Structure 1
Amino acid sequence: MQTLPITDNGSIASANGEPETTHPVLKFLAKLISYLFHPCFVPVYVVLFLVYEHPNMFVGFSPKNKILVVAQAFMMFSFFPIITTLLLKALKFIDSIQLPTQKDRIIPLIANMTWYFWIWHVWRNLPDYPKELVALALGIFAASIIAMLANIKFKISLHAIGVGTMVTFLVTIALQQSLHFAVYLSVAFIIAGLVCTARLISGSHNTFEVYTGFLAGVGAQLIANVVVLN
């Protein structure tokens, strides 16, 4: 059976060694998935799940307080990182808001580490907030540190880090709580597979950068779980 070679960027090559052309529909879907499950949005999705779908995580919170938790997550995980990136682009500190190079990522990663540290610090000092939420915030902060260090050597996939953190967090609470998480875990793994595949199809990363990113997300969340949940 003949196997197709792999190009330097991790994409499949044809029999003559030339990269296979990707269908425009697949490229569009890859971009759509990359936007929908951008690292700025994935933590907010997880918080929404904890607040409104988990049966007892926020059982003592009023509707107003639940909205406050989601708003805090959105501000620190989505709004401030996006605004920071847009400002850096406007001031010409970065060439593109998509951060295609390692150089472009340096300042945004440092800024995001600040936002992530702040929300973790705030949540851990609020006694009514569940420790699982604190573990999630710490995992995201730890993942940003790993991403910053890895960025010195190569362009690690931030999308893969995001879904790696998400999957590990959900697996952890599924193992620790006597609830039926099969559907949620299935959805999480499907999303992770789609996101990682999308990053390869779009040509934004090679397989090494995607796999390393996913493992970095897993490792960061495991560290956070040990620190907070044990």
Structure 2
Amino acid sequence: MQKSISYIFHPIFMPLIGVLFYFSKSPRFIPLPLVQSKLVPIIILTLILPILVNVLLKAIGKVESIELKTTEERIIPLIVYCIILLIVIKRIITPFEFIELYYFFLGVFGSTLASIVLNMLNFKVSIHMLAISGILMFFIGLSVHFGINILGSIALVFLIMGAVATSRLSLKAHNANEVFMGCLIGIAPQLMLIPRWL
């Protein structure tokens, strides 16, 4: 059960969940072709490409598994993911079209960068907690920004955060400090950037 939670709420799905939630809750009219033109490259870049990179890294012996158990194994995938996020920010989601999503991805980039620095300092931050806590702050920001009641969704994310934290601790994938730090660096960049689009 604990392992299933870690897979279902894997960090790799979180950016896509944020984008899908945004398009489903935005009160603005967004033409379907425009939505599709953003979703397809985001799925390719943030979901499919990282999986292929991890498969390649495993094949050449740079990582042992998709779980990236050591700080050394995490650095290359995180750097690649930072590059992917920069492509998304520069080419796919611009501040002129979707300012909320632009700063969401900029926050994800900041969190990933912080995670790289901590890994280089031999501190294995929980990327699961980083991802889900970033989603939580984005949902809260959207609620305030659009003036919509999404308390049910926010409460659900809180419950998921608790389940993910429990899962990571039960599996001994992280200790309490690593879980807390993941939560902190997931929330902080989103929180700092929210005033720019509210």
TM over 0.5: yes
CA distance in 2, matches of 1:222, 1:182: 18
The CA RMSD measured in Å over matched residues stands at 1.6
Give the whole-Å Cα distance in 1 for the aligned partners of 2:63 and 2:119.
15
TM-score, normalisation: structure 1 = 0.80
Following the alignment from structure 2 to structure 1, what is the Cα–Cα distance between the partners of residues 19 and 75? 27
Q: Which residue of 2 aligns with 1:83?
A: 52
Give the distance between the partners of 2:94 and 2:125, measured in 1 at CA: 32
Distance 1:106 1:149 in 2: 9
Task: Tell me by how many angstroms 1:95 deviates.
Answer: 2.2
Q: How many pairs align?
A: 197
- Structure 1 counterpart of 2:8: 36
Which of 134, 144, 151 lines up with 2:119 in the alignment?
151
Would you say 1:54 and 2:25 are equivalent positions?
yes
Q: Supply the AA of the counterpart residue of 1:37.
A: F
Aligned to 1:79, the other structure's residue is in SS state helix
Find the aligned partners of 1:225 and 1:107 in 2 and give their Cα distance: 29
Rounded to whole Å, the distance in 2 between the matches of 1:69 and 1:188 is 24
Q: Which moved more, 1:116-125 or 1:81-90?
A: 116-125
Match of 1:99 among 68, 72, 77: 68
Q: Determine the C-alpha separation between the residues in 1 that align with 2:36 and 2:66.
A: 29
SS in 1 for 2:147: coil
Match of 1:223 in 2: 192
Distance 1:166 1:120 in 2: 17
User: Which residue number in structure 2 is paired with residue 135 of structure 1?
Assistant: 103
Counterparts of 2:6 and 2:40, CA distance in 1: 23
Q: 1:69 to 1:124 in 2, by over 3 A?
A: closer
Q: What is the rounded CA distance, in whole Å, between the counterparts of 1:135 and 1:88 in structure 2? A: 30
**Structure showing greater Rg:** 1
What does the per-residue CA deviation read over 1:13-46, in whole Å, with 9 as the maximum and x for residues that have no partner? Answer: xxxxxxxxxxxxxxxx111111111110011112
Matching residue of 1:198: 167
Structure 2-normalised TM-score? 0.93
Q: Is the 8 A contact 1:142 1:224 kept in 2?
A: no
Partners of 2:135 and 2:94 lie apart in 1 by 23
Which residue in 1 is equivalent to 2:131?
A: 162
For residues 203 and 123 of structure 1, the distance between their equivalents in structure 2, rounded to whole angstroms, comes to 37
Question: How far 1:176 moved relative to its partner?
Answer: 2.3
Q: Tell me if the contact between 2:125 and 2:182 (Cα under 8 Å) persists in the aligned partners.
A: yes
Question: Offset at 1:124?
Answer: 4.8
Contact 1:171 1:185 in 2 (8 A): yes
The residue type paired with residue 39 of structure 2 is: V
Counterpart Cα distance in 2 of 1:224 and 1:87: 34
Q: Matched residue of 1:40: which SS?
A: helix
Query: In structure 1, how many angstroms separate the alpha carbons of the residues matched to 2:87 and 2:41?
Result: 11
What percent of counterpart residues are identical? 28
Q: 1:73 aligns with which of 24, 42, 49?
A: 42
Provide structure 1 residue ranges, at least 5 long, that are not aligned to the other structure.
1-28
Letter aligned with residue 197 of structure 2: L
With over 3 angstroms needed to count, the CA separation of the structure-2 counterparts of 1:54 and 1:166, relative to structure 1, is: same
**Residue in 1 aligned with 2:151?**
182
**Paired residue secondary structure (1:105):** helix
Q: Distance in 1 between matches of 2:66 and 2:30?
A: 40
Q: Secondary structure at the match of 2:27?
A: coil
What do residues 164-217 of structure 1 show as CA deviations (whole Å, max 9, x unaligned)? 110111111212221111111111111111111111111100110001100110
